[in-house]
Amino acid sequence: MGMNLFKTTAAVAALAIMATGAAQAGEDAKLVINGDLSIATQAAAPAHLENLETVYSGWVFRTKETQALEMDDFDNPSFVFVDVALDLYAAVDGTEGKSCASCHENVEDFAGLTTSMPRVNADGALETTTDLINECRTERMGAKAWKYSGTDMSAMLSLVGLQSRGMPVNVAIDGAAAPYWDKGKELYYTRVGQLDMSCSNCHEDNYNVMIRADHLSQGQSNGFPTYRLKNAKMNTIQARFKGCMKNIRAEPFGQGSDEFKALELYVASRGNGLIVETPSVRN
């Protein structure tokens, strides 16, 4: 225990985390999109979270300028990619001569889906929305699977996720989901990498402090995919996990691996009660 504490302190120092009394979570900032969609950016923590009382959307921790980009769909660069996805949705692809729209006439029918993903399917396997879309492509369209976090997939995930914008996250963690959730939780609290840190060391123990120039959030997933100013594209949740693991100099798990899917479920469950903001904007 003492050893662990020492290691955390050393790693935190190495990353130049500074406690700044000034950097309060902007609990008073209000997220209203297009002047009419009011989105609560905090919620009472779900009962399974032992160390947090309140959960916050990552939006709260961004600068006023970045926050503003998410408040109007004309300013939100994600919508360029939503448009790309609308074209993909209507485009025939694969040996069966079908488009998404051939079978799913209205994309609005996906309303609510993102709030409950990932979920366990009838065969007992944990599936992400990415898996569902690729299943349709390979098994129903005779088309090639899209790259897990590639441009086409992240655009389509943004379009599908947008249909749930404004709805509360509510992933199932019991029953058939329980073993996956346990695995995700274990990964979240396990120290890895040269810096020997866990997700919780940053996103639970140190959220709301500055790490280099970045204001640390709770690492919630309710805004994903998110447009990042840093790389000017849509970023999937698993691509974000990969980036965080690289930052602590750990070997990241693969996109679509059992580990990242379990982590995706667990991270989503930490935000049960937060509101879907997809497609969001981050730095």
Q: Is the bond into 179 cis (omega within 30 degrees of 0)?
A: no
Which range, of 19-27, 38-46, 173-181, 237-245, touches ligand HEC by CB under 6 A?
237-245
Nearer to ligand HEC, 73 or 205 (CB): 205
Nearer to ligand HEC, 44 or 91 (CB): 91
Tokens of 197: 């840190």
Catalytic residue at 244? yes
Q: Which residues contact 20 (CB under 8 A, 6 or more apart)?
A: 209, 210
Q: Which residues contact 242 (CB under 8 A, 6 or more apart)?
A: 252, 253, 255
Q: How far is the CB of 221 from ligand HEC (least distance, A)?
A: 5
Q: How far is the CB of 175 from ligand HEC (least distance, A)?
A: 17
15 binds ligand HEC per the rule CB under 6 A? yes
Nearer to ligand HEC, 79 or 140 (CB): 140
Contact predicate 105/57, CB 8 Å:
no
CA distance 278 to 160: 9
CA distance 20 to 23: 6
CA distance 29 to 40: 10
203 binds ligand HEC per the rule CB under 6 A? yes
Nearer to ligand HEC, 185 or 282 (CB): 282
Site residues (CB under 6 A) for ligand HEC, limited to 47-66: 58, 61
Site residues (CB under 6 A) for ligand HEC, limited to 97-156: 98, 100, 102-104, 110, 113, 129, 132-133, 136-137, 140-141, 156
Total number of residues shown for the chain? 283
3-state secondary structure of 166: coil
3-state secondary structure of 119: strand
Chain residues in the site for ligand HEC (CB under 6 A): 15, 58, 61, 98, 100, 102-104, 110, 113, 129, 132-133, 136-137, 140-141, 156, 160, 197, 199, 201-203, 211, 214, 216-217, 219-221, 223, 226, 240-241, 244-245, 247-248, 263, 267, 282
Residues belonging to the active site: 244
